[in-house]
């Protein structure tokens, strides 16, 4: 018997390719999370890639608030937006898993800053529910 994971069982969500192509051109995305009480938090990332028919991966050295929020509330919004052309999309979904892809090892005083920095690079695997148009101009949150 062939058992499919949740991600494999879902059909490809329309607009995923558009989100990834735009992110590759712009080299930045914004990741919106919220804690259990609904307090929002925005993080920035540079990499977005397709990992399955209805999954995306977002990679960055996410700050502790992002990781903490996702442990309490898996819902996420990823925005890719070009302010020069007002072209953008919002990917809405839930983080299915968090992968650690790199860990800082050791202390390098010549590159350390006074402010603490994230010590672990993470990859968020997002189960995409929908991709909607995003712009500064008036819009209706229609799926792309």
Look up the CATH number of the domain holding residue 49: 2.30.110.10
Single pTM value for the model: 0.81
Helical (H) or strand (E) element with 68 = helix 64-72
Within a domain: 15: yes
Domain count, the chain: 1
Within a domain: 141: no
Domain that holds residue 43: 6-133
Beta strands in 2-119 (DSSP E): 29-34, 40-45, 47-52, 55-60, 75-82, 87-103
Within a domain: 42: yes
Tokens, residue 44:
């920035």
- State yes or no: pLDDT of 7 exceeds 50: no
At residue 140, what are phi and psi to the nearest 5 degrees? Answer: -120, 15
- State yes or no: pLDDT of 4 exceeds 90: no
| Residue range 31-86, pLDDT digits in tens | 999 999 999 999 999 899 999 878 999 999 898 899 999 999 999 999 999 999 99
Within a domain: 83: yes
Of all residues in the chain, what percent are helix, strand and coil, respectively (each to 5)?
A: 15, 45, 40
Within a domain: 17: yes
Buried/exposed 46-62: b ≥16 CB within 10 Å, e otherwise: eebeeebebbbbbbbbb
């Amino acid at each position: 018997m062939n058992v499919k994971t949740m991600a494999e069982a879902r059909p490809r969500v329309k607009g995923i390719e558009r989100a990834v192509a735009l992110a590759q051109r712009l080299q930045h995305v914004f990741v919106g999370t919220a804690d259990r009480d609904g307090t929002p938090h925005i993080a920035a990332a540079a990499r977005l890639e397709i990992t399955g028919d209805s999954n995306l991966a977002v990679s960055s050295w996410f700050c502790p608030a992002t990781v903490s929020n996702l442990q309490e509330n898996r819902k996420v919004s990823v925005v890719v937006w070009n302010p020069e052309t007002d072209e953008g999309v919002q990917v809405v979904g839930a983080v299915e898993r968090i992968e650690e892809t790199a860990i800082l090892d050791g202390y390098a005083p010549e590159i350390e800053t006074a402010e603490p920095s994230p010590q672990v690079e993470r990859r968020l695997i997002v189960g995409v529910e929908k991709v909607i148009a995003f712009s500064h101009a008036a819009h209706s949150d229609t799926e792309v």
